[in-house]
Amino acid sequence: MSDVTPELPWTEEAVKGDAVGKKEIITWLQEHASFKFLADNKLKGALKNIAKVKSKDDCVKYYLQLCESKDFRKEGELDESAKAAAADKDAVAAVTESAANLDIATETPKFKKAVLKKGNKLNYPRKGDTVKVYYKGSLVNGTVFDTNIHPQRRGKIQPLAFKVGKGLVIRGWDEALLTMSLGEKAQITIEPEWAYGKRGLEGKIPPNATLIFEVELMAIE
């Protein structure tokens, strides 16, 4: 975080509209608001827990308040829990780039990754970055339900581009891609809870299906 005011993602009219969900607003607030602002408005903690007790109107109100007060997080700012963790040698590994993440409940990953080709191990996507990928999705029986990998036409087909970590794809993709470095190719096996769950995807993916993806990270922007 820098001391520069971050770019505001929504106008007042847009943030009040149906296109912006309260989880998106809470996530942005947790990434950019000062820890005092988050504590004063009870916005610290796991996203799913906050979303249960905060209405969309509440989230809009906090967003507009922050835009007006400009009480954004300053570079190097840590909350009290992050300071305590940093002082404890057994907890140092838990300190991340954003101290707010220390308040988010850990969850057992519901995917497994097998590296097929190593990346550069230098450039990793961060939440909000645009990634470009080639992919192939299969059921456990080998049935391919979606792909943009066509060896004969690879130079003509553009890789899929989207902002990672923003809920625009299934969670298994969001989480797994954050562990991949530029150029890496991996097989990612995703459990139903982080894929399409009990509903599946009509005509393509049955309910409670484990999915196997072959994903190659081509670019990070």
Which residues are marked as active site?
Answer: 135, 145-146, 170, 196, 213
Which of 213, 189, 188, 218 is CA-nearest to residue 120? 218
The secondary element (H helix, E strand) that includes residue 65 is helix 56-69
Which of 198, 192, 193 is CA-nearest to residue 211? 192
Give, as one character, the DSSP assignment of residue 205.
Answer: B
Q: How far, in whole angstroms, is CA 29 from its chain's centroid?
A: 14
In the chain, what is the straight-line distance between the N-terminal and C-terminal CA atoms, in Å?
Answer: 18
CA distance 11 to 210: 39
Residue holding tokens 């850990």?
A: 106
